Structures are given as C-alpha cells and as structure tokens.
Amino acid sequence: MTKTILTNAINACVERGDKAFVPYIMAGDGGLKALKEQILFLQEVGVTAIELGIPFSDPVADGPVIQEAGERALAHGVTLRKVLKELTHFIDEVTVPLVIMTYLNPVLSYGIQEFIKDCGDGGVSGLIIPDLPLEESELLRDALVDSEVALIQLVSLTSPPERIEKITAAGEGFIYAVTVNGITGVRDGFGDDLQTHLEGLKAVSPVPVLAGFGISTPEQVRTIGAFADGVIVGSAIVDAFHHKGLTTVEALVKSAEKVAYR
C-alpha cells in the first residue's frame, strides 16, 4: 500500500511556495483532554502535520524541555494506548496528518498488530521510533505493509553516504534529517556543513526531507528551511504551550511561509 498521506501534504505545501512546518507536542502535557485543543489550534494556524510525542520513562533523544513535558504527562497517567484512544474521540475534526513519536518498548508491550490497528483508528499517518535502527525495522515494516501508516526514517549528521542511501531508499512519508549531534533542545547555531548535508539528502531521497532538532526561532526556521522541504520544531513549541505562549507558536508556524530554496 502506498503511504503518501504525509508526502502529499508536504509536497502540496512546497508547491504553493511555502516550507512544511511540523510542530512536536508532548501528548498529555497539561492533561490528556488538552490534546484536542492543542491539535485543533495548530491545525487552525496552518501547520502541515503534527508530531505527537508519547511520554516515556527512559527517553534517549529528548532534551530537558521535552523530558520535563514527558514527566508532566506521565504524572497525568498518560500512556500510548490512552493517547490513541483519545484521538478517536475527535479524529473527524482533524484535517492534518498526525505522526506518533514513541519508542520500541511501548509498541512491543502494546502488541504490534493491535498498535497498528489503533493507529489507523486514531487517524495516525506516520511513526517515528528513534531507537529502532533500519536493520531491525522489518519487525514493524512487515506488519505495516497493509497500512497507510508510514515508518519514518531518521538520518544523522554522521551517517556515511552508503548508509544514507540505504535509509533514504527505505524512506516513507518523509526523511527526518537530524540537524545536530545530541539530544533535542534549543540551539544558538548549527554546523557549517548542515547545508551540504541537507542538500545531499534531498538529492538522493525519494520522499521530502524535513530538518529537526534544535530549531527554535523564526529566523532558524527560515534559514534551515531554505535547505530542506520543511522543518520540525519541538522544544520551542512544547515550552510555548506550557507557558500559554500561543502567539509564539503562531509566529513560528508563519515563519515557514514563502521561504525560498537556496
């Protein structure tokens, strides 16, 4: 089955002269009932898709802002199963693709087939599982064959060319280009080789390339977005929602409009 929901949404954004903007939110930060309000707000201000982080007790890729958000969500009793169930209550109101970001252990504990079914019922279009390497991804990939859910691949700055070719060949939805070495979080700047890295990914990837990790200001959205098909912004969005800074969220989203390729 073709997994084109995310790809088509990103391509439509690029074709009208904008860059894709995908915000990350921690599902259940502020309570599970806040999820609907946050998703519909982001949809209203014009995001391309939404990445929903699932709180996990031992994250490997999360910086302090997202870790703290995860702890708040866990304190509300939020789980992967509860998030997917909550999505079914308002999925008819959601018009943008949803991406789940979780770790492998919660998926295995859930049961792969049941998890995939519930993703479909909740309107999920993509999965990001940062601790699932390409070499072991058949575990999920085979189970997703008859699903419209894309298994999104991450590429790091240190990935050698031959590995990049393998990862991009397996790309579904979009390629998540990690822009820094290390965990998520606000950064003042990025390496001088980032432009070359992103342009190289775009040259070989059959699906759009989105840049993420450390992007936190409108200027960074415009600068880095110019080298990719769009950006993913996490910590700045999570922090803004936590402090009720909705104007900050809107400004970040709008900064992806009319960003030219360099």
Residue ranges in 24-176 assigned as alpha helix (H): 34-45, 64-75, 80-88, 104-110, 112-121, 138-141, 161-169
CA of residue 64 relative to chain centroid, distance? 18
Owner of token pair 């939404």:
50
Which of the following is catalytic: 15, 29, 58, 62?
62
Length of the chain: 262
Contact call for residues 209 and 200 (beta carbons, < 8 A)? no
Residue 89, number of CB atoms within 10 A of its CB? 12
Cα 191–196–199 angle (5° rounding)? 130
Q: Which residues contact 163 (CB under 8 A, 6 or more apart)?
A: none
- Phi, psi at 20, each rounded to 5°: -65, 140
**CB atoms closer than 10 angstroms to residue 67:** 18
Is 62 designated active site?
Answer: yes
Contact 111, 80 (CB under 8 A): no
Quote the CA–CA distance of 63 and 166 in Å, as a whole number.
28
51 is catalytic: yes
Structure tokens at 54: 């699932």
Q: Which of 15, 29, 37, 51 is catalytic?
A: 51
User: Would you please indicate which residues are annotated as catalytic (active-site) residues?
Assistant: 51, 62
